[in-house]
Amino acid sequence: MLMENDEKTREAVSSVLETEQYEVISVGSAFDGLSRLYQNCFDLVILSDDLPGANEGRLCSRLRQLCYVPIIVIGRKKPEATVEILDSGADIYLPKDSDYHNLVARIHSLLRRKNWPGGKPPGGQSGGGTGTTITRVNGGSGNLSITESRLVSCLALNDGGLVTHPQLLAEVWGEKRLNLNALKLYAYSLRKKLGNNGDRLFDLVNGRGIGFRLVPNGEC
């Protein structure tokens, strides 16, 4: 999956990768990218370091908490800033003016490494050989619906902060009119799918009368 906010760059990179026989899903924001990750299997993620609505370091960390998938970050950061991005979970950082042949070579290398014996990297979750599925959340009881995945994405991008009811309603449902009771029903369903206390990675915390937070298990 390609997460890039600049349309021309997104089209150019997608074209190069499709020429190399890769199937590319491209999105223009971190919100849409996380939503897709909750719904689909991907072998690799390429993301821009200037995606709107997200800090690339925190986004990489969130991806690492959710699953094992190779991550390439492309951007214009100074050398000292790239260290932080790599420490947060990215596998490779490339300048945005890099030759596309360099990008393709790095992708080939990461995908070769991803095919660990048995499909499981050391310390990571199974990649299954053909992709990293995270639609079944944290060992929970079911797969996320499209709306539930958008709800999780909105919460995850706020890095543990409280997201108000009006903000959730606006960002997840847009112009559709949804009342507060319906939002609470979605939250109840999502909490069940996050799994039992012993095996879930995240807790959905209710800020009574205000909103919700998504935090690592045990931190609430």
| Nearest-angstrom CA–CA distance, 95 and 68 | 23
- What is the per-residue pLDDT for 75? 85
pLDDT-derived band at 190 (thresholds 50, 70, 90) equals: confident
pLDDT-derived band at 212 (thresholds 50, 70, 90) equals: very high
Q: What residue spans define the domains of the chain? A: 2-119, 138-216
CATH code of the domain occupying 2-119? 3.40.50.2300
- What is the per-residue pLDDT for 97? 82
Structural domain 138-216, CATH architecture: Orthogonal Bundle (1.10)
Residues 6+ apart with CB under 8 A from 169: 178, 180, 183
Helices (H), 116-164: 146-156
Q: Is 180 helix (H, G, I), strand (E, B) or coil?
A: helix
Per-residue model confidence as pLDDT tens digits over 126-154: 333 333 333 334 444 456 777 887 888 88
pLDDT-derived band at 33 (thresholds 50, 70, 90) equals: confident
Look up residue 84 and give its two tokens: 């932080």
Per-residue model confidence as pLDDT tens digits over 68-80: 788 999 987 776 7
Look up residue 46 and give its two tokens: 């390429």
User: What is the rounded (10 degree) CA torsion for 40, 42, 48, 53?
Assistant: 20
Q: Is 163 helix (H, G, I), strand (E, B) or coil?
A: strand
